[in-house]
Amino acid sequence: MENLDSDLLRTFVAVAEAGSVTEGAARIYRSQSATSLQIKRLEAILGQPVFERHGRGVILSDTGRRLLPVAQDVTARLDAVLRDISQDAITGKLRVGIPDDHGRAKLSQIVAAFSRDHPKVELDVTCALSAHFPDALDKGALDLAIYEVKHPSNEEEVLYEDPTCWVASAHRVFPVDERLPVALFDHACWWRDAAINSLKARGKPYRVVYSSQSVSGVIAAVEAGIAVGLLGRSSLHSGLSVVTDPLGFESTPTSKLVMASSGQGSGPTQAMKAAIRAAFLTSVSESSRAKQPEA
């Protein structure tokens, strides 16, 4: 009986996470043909396909979905052991701030994976409203933070851009000429300022009927049909509709999710930055993939 080679598993993980043989090959510095051969070799050992073609990329088959978490765990453990034995393990303490709203689940997964891959790093994670993170970085209370801004500085690395728009419940119509009920953030941040500036530019009466410290709170008010709210397009779902044009609003700014650190950054800081950067690069490529058909 043949055994599963860790090199085949690495190739499988790279393609699975990229959603494309071409991009997966680039991640492991191999040619597309060599990567395709390794996937075929893995499928020959398993006796079943691990991928199915989907548009211009690939998606996991039932077998692939079963194999992926095992392959990720095995390769991560091997990498961790190698770092430990070769004395290249990253050590130290890292204080990280992640937003309580935008991408909380995704960022929590990144932090968890980092902790598994770098067990000698002592992590201190703050999950809270991100408006205060820049000040915490300046004061040295955090080493690394992720937060949203309208205009990023040279020290802030953009991870994701999310256009904003005025949104209402898909089941509620607000008359253009009546006083408009609005849900806003109740703390000082650029989101609140952008919403108020947009309302003033519209030049029609409005009233704030709901205030919240979080995106989820504003979404709840909008979903309930009691108000309209300024949200990122990433928050849209079938129960919400964009009302920027119907209600006479002008275009609104784009939110930038950024990453910043205090000072040059230690080994743990640089390693965490690399992990976060790679994870967001993957999500962006998956949502906007426009590649040639796979060979």
Kindly report, residue by residue over 99-111, the tens digit of the pLDDT: 876 566 677 778 8
- Are residues 155 and 170 located together in one domain of the fold? no
Query: Closest Cα partner for 6 from 97, 79, 80?
Result: 79
Domain count, the chain: 3
- Are residues 171 and 240 located together in one domain of the fold? yes
Q: Does the model's pTM come out above 0.75? A: no
pLDDT at residue 57 above 50?
A: yes
The answer to whether residue 291 sits within a structural domain is no
CA distance 26 to 47: 26
Alpha carbon distances (Å) from 113 to 19, 110, 119, 174, 261:
19, 5, 10, 45, 20
CA distance 150 to 258: 10
Of the residues 87, 115, 134, the one at which a domain ends = 87
DSSP helix/strand/coil, 144: strand
Q: Supply the CATH number for residue 176's domain.
A: 3.40.190.10
Tokens found for residue 288: 């906007």
Tokens found for residue 248: 């006479």
Cα 105–chain centre separation? 9
CA distance 219 to 53: 36
pLDDT tens digits for 176-211?
999 999 999 887 778 899 999 999 999 999 999 999
Of the residues 35, 56, 87, the one at which a domain ends = 87
Q: In terms of residue numbers, what domain contains 218?
A: 161-255
Tokens found for residue 277: 């950067």
- Are residues 206 and 244 located together in one domain of the fold? yes
Per the prediction, the chain carries an average pLDDT of 86
pLDDT tens digits for 230-252?
999 988 989 999 999 999 999 99
pLDDT at residue 41 above 90?
A: yes
Residue matched to tokens 């909380």: 104
- Are residues 50 and 97 located together in one domain of the fold? no
- Are residues 56 and 82 located together in one domain of the fold? yes
